[in-house]
Structure 1
C-alpha cells in the first residue's frame, strides 16, 4: 500500500463521465462482497442514480465523489425528500480507501450543502449491518428514529431511519463558524 502520507485525497462534485456508472457498479460489487447482498441492491442504487441524473434540482440537490490518487473511491448524494427535508443517500467508501475518514468527510459535505440549501431536516435510510456508517451518522448528530425488519437484497435486515435537525448546532466547531459568519 505504501506511504499513506503521500496519497492525494479529494472530494469533488459528481459530474465527470463515468461517475454515475461507477456509483452503481461500486455499490453492487462492494455490497455483494462484504454483505452478500444480491443484485436487487444494485438495481435500487441504479434507480436512485437514474432519478438524480434525470431530474435533479442543482440548487437543492448534489452528489460528491471521493478520490484517492485520482481514483474514485467513495460517494454520497443529497436529494430532496420534500420541501424542508433533505435525504442523504448511497454513502459508500471503497474498502481500499478506508481509514482516511472519507465517509465522515462525505457526510459532512452533504450536511453542509443541505444547510446552505436551507433544508430544516435531513433523513436517511440504512440497514443494521452498516455499523461504520451508522457510527458516522450518530457522531454528526443524527438520531435513530425508526427501525423495521424486512427481507431485501436476499437477506433478513433491520432497516433504520436516522434524522438530523439541520437548524440545531451540531458541534462547537459549527457554532464557531456560524458566529464568524454573522
Structure 2
C-alpha cells in the first residue's frame, strides 16, 4: 500500500452516476459499524439525498465527493435553509479508508466557499455530540454551538447539536489561522 502522502486524494462535485447511491450506502454502513446506528439513519440520509436529487437549485446548492485513488471515501452537501440567506451543511462523511488525509476539512472548505459565492449569510448544521472529529472540523472553521438536546434516534440515546457560522467576511475564520487583533 502506498504511503498516505503518495495517495491521490481529490474533492469533486457529486455529479457522476452512482455518487448519490454511494452517499446513502456509505452512511448506512459506516454509522452502523462505528456507532451501531440502525437503518432509520440511512433512511434520513436517503431522504436528504432524494430531496437534493429531485429539486436542488444548482446555483444555490451542491454536493461534493472525496476520492482516494479513484474510490469514493467522503461527501458533503450544501442545501438551502428555511430562509433565503441561510444554507445547511448536510451529511458530511469521511469513511475510515479516507481518514487522516484532511478530506473532511477539504470537503467543508469547498462547501463554505460555495456558500459564500452563492450569497448566503449563514450556514447551519445539525449533528450529534458523538461525532467528535466532525465537530473539530466545524469548530476549526468558526462554527459555534447554538443549542443541543437529548433524543433517542437510530436505536441510540444521543445528544443532537445545532451549530451555526456567520459568513460575513469580518467574522470569517480560516483553518490554522487566527483572526487579526
User: How far 1:174 moved relative to its partner?
Assistant: 10
Match of 1:169 among 153, 168, 172: 172
Aligned to 1:13: 13
Q: Classify the secondary structure of the residue corresponding to 2:146.
A: strand
> Which runs of 5 or more residues in structure 2 are unaligned?
none
Output aligned runs, 1:15-164, within 5 Å. 15-81=15-81, 82-164=83-165
Q: Which segment drifts farther, 115-124 or 164-173?
A: 164-173
Q: Classify the secondary structure of the residue corresponding to 2:92.
A: strand
How much is the aligned-residue C-alpha RMSD, in angstroms? 1.6
Question: Aligned equivalents of 1:160 and 1:84: distance in 2?
Answer: 21
**Cα deviation code 1:152-175 (max 9, x no counterpart):** 000000000000001122239799
Q: Classify the secondary structure of the residue corresponding to 2:142.
A: coil
**Cα deviation code 1:65-89 (max 9, x no counterpart):** 0000000000000000020001000
**Cα deviation code 1:104-140 (max 9, x no counterpart):** 1100110110000010000000001000000100110
Aligned to 1:179: none
Question: Aligned equivalents of 1:131 and 1:173: distance in 2?
Answer: 21
Question: Aligned equivalents of 2:51 and 2:136: distance in 1?
Answer: 28
Question: Aligned equivalents of 1:5 and 1:163: distance in 2?
Answer: 32
User: How far 1:2 moved relative to its partner?
Assistant: 2.9
Question: Aligned equivalents of 1:92 and 1:120: distance in 2?
Answer: 24
Q: TM-score, normalised by structure 2?
A: 0.94
Aligned to 1:180: none
> Which runs of 5 or more residues in structure 1 are unaligned?
176-182
Q: Classify the secondary structure of the residue corresponding to 2:78.
A: strand
